[in-house]
Amino acid sequence: MATPNYELTERISDQSIDYLFISKGKNDIIKVIQYIYFTELYGKSIFNLGFGDYDLNKDEIDDSVNTDNGDVYKVLNTVLTTIPKFFDTFHDAMLMVQGSDSKTEFTEKCKLTCKKKCSSYCKNQHRRISVYTYYVNKNFETLKEEYTFLGGIEDNNEAIRLEPYVPHQKYDSVFVMKKISKFVL
């Protein structure tokens, strides 16, 4: 049986698409999935996938919280259903997926409130990109029929080197594009 997803409200501009929905669980929480223009690379518009709780008063996304609302699979499925919608609007774009918990400043912030009392390595770091790559790895054979994937590896200067995606290899980011035409790095 397929995992259901939440009903979406869509906002589109020439530089972004936002999908809003209400996560229903322990609390009702407004979530937003945001595809926002980032840069040009290899002649393609790169859009960043952002996701988090939506602060209606500030009109901002908080992508650092883990709300643990008891509906993780329904939320993940909802996020995944927006990817084909994104490519319907921005056909020739490339999508960049990273985890907000992969940056150095995340670890410092996490230490202030973390209950895990990690020593040298933060156990909360890289959880988000791990979820995304787990899904891609698990479904790679099917997904590669319709999408091209690149793995991003960040160096010490925070520059990202792209390579053809290899399932189960560790990446700092994943880049996805619709298979419309042949793409060469």
- Kindly state whether residue 32 falls inside one of the protein's structural domains: yes
- Decide if 147 contacts 176 (C-beta within 8 A): yes
pLDDT tens for residues 73-108? 899 899 999 999 999 999 999 999 986 555 666 556
pLDDT tens for residues 172-182? 889 999 987 55
- Kindly state whether residue 3 falls inside one of the protein's structural domains: no
- Kindly state whether residue 90 falls inside one of the protein's structural domains: yes
- Decide if 50 contacts 34 (C-beta within 8 A): yes
**pLDDT for residue 71 is more than 80:** yes
- Kindly state whether residue 27 falls inside one of the protein's structural domains: yes
Confidence (pTM): 0.83
Contacts by residues 29-37 (CB-CB < 8 Å, ≥ 24 positions apart)? 29/53, 29/67, 29/69, 30/54, 30/56, 31/6, 31/75, 31/78, 32/61, 33/78, 33/79, 33/82, 34/61, 35/82, 35/86, 35/90, 35/95
Domain boundaries, position 86: 9-178
pLDDT tens for residues 117-158? 676 666 555 566 788 888 999 999 999 999 999 999 888 887
- How many structural domains are present in the chain? 1
- Kindly state whether residue 169 falls inside one of the protein's structural domains: yes
Which pLDDT belongs to residue 183?
A: 60
- Kindly state whether residue 160 falls inside one of the protein's structural domains: yes
- Kindly state whether residue 2 falls inside one of the protein's structural domains: no
Parallel/antiparallel/unpaired status of strands 44-55 and 94-98: parallel
Per-residue tokens: 139:
């479904």
- Kindly state whether residue 136 falls inside one of the protein's structural domains: yes
